[in-house]
Amino acid sequence: MRGSPLQRAIFTFLILLGLAPLLWQMTKPAPAAVPVAAAASAGPMKLPLALAFTTAPKRISVTYADKLVWQKDAPESREECELELVWPAEGGDLLFKVEWAEDAPLSAMRARLTLPSGSELERSLWGTGGVEKVLGFP
């Protein structure tokens, strides 16, 4: 490069100055990702729930925060539904009440809940007759 050292320094500085907006765009901190669950916790949302039973029960109900959110009499051995509830970032606990026939054998239920983040969590319970159990997600 020709010219005095001072000229070269000024030339380099001007080039960098011209590139500054581009460099700023490339290096600026990305906006903090808002957790889906936290963002969604402001209002009610619909969470898909899939249930599978080894023996179809007589009745099932799901309660969240002391409110009945879904129930069905004589459900099939596989059921799908959507729970409409306010789901905090911390997760939640669902109270399942399953009523199998008195003469039914030891039976089980598997519950798969899709969280606001899109991840799916599975929990299960088992018993005979009437079973009341809290399942936590996560």
Partner 1 sequence: MRSRPLFPTDGKKQRISFRHLLAFTCNPSYSRFMHSLRQIFALLFVWGIGLACAGAADKIRVSSFSTVLTEIAQKIGGDRVEVTGHIKPGIDPHEFEPKASDIRTVTNADLVLLSAKHMEGYVAKLKDSIGTKGHVVEVGDQKMQSLKLVDRSEHEVEDPHWWHSPRNLIIATKVVRDELTKISPADKALFAANATAYINRLEVLDDWVRAKVSELPRDKRKLVTNHDAFGYFARDYGFTVMPISGVAKNDQPGSKNVAELIAKIKASGVKAVFSEDVANPKVVQEITRETGAKFGGELLSDGLGTGEAATVEGMFKHNVKTIVDALK
Q: Which is nearer to partner 1, 50 or 86 (CB)?
A: 86
Among 61, 63, 114, 128, binds partner 1 (CB under 8 A): 63
Which residues, listed in sequence order, are joined to residue 127 by a DSSP beta bridge? 107
Which of these segments, 21-29, 53-61, 93-101, 112-120, binds partner 1 (CB under 8 A)? Answer: 93-101
CB of 72 to partner 1, least distance (A): 20
In whole angstroms, what is the distance from residue 61 CA to residue 99 CA?
A: 9
Q: What share of the chain is helix, strand, coil (3-state, %, to 5)?
A: 20, 45, 35
CB of 101 to partner 1, least distance (A): 22
Which of these segments, 74-82, 99-107, 113-121, 128-136, binds partner 1 (CB under 8 A)? Answer: 128-136
Contact between 129 and partner 1 by CB under 8 A: the answer reads no
Contact between 57 and partner 1 by CB under 8 A: the answer reads no
Among 3, 48, 91, 130, binds partner 1 (CB under 8 A): 91
Contact between 132 and partner 1 by CB under 8 A: the answer reads yes
Closest by CA position to 45, among listed 96, 94, 115, 112: 115
Q: Which is nearer to partner 1, 66 or 103 (CB)?
A: 66
In whole angstroms, what is the distance from residue 55 CA to residue 104 CA?
A: 8
Cis peptide before 138 (omega within 30 of 0): yes
Contact between 10 and partner 1 by CB under 8 A: the answer reads no
Q: Which residues of 120-133 are buried (b: 16+ CB within 10 A; e: fewer)?
A: eeebebeeeeebee
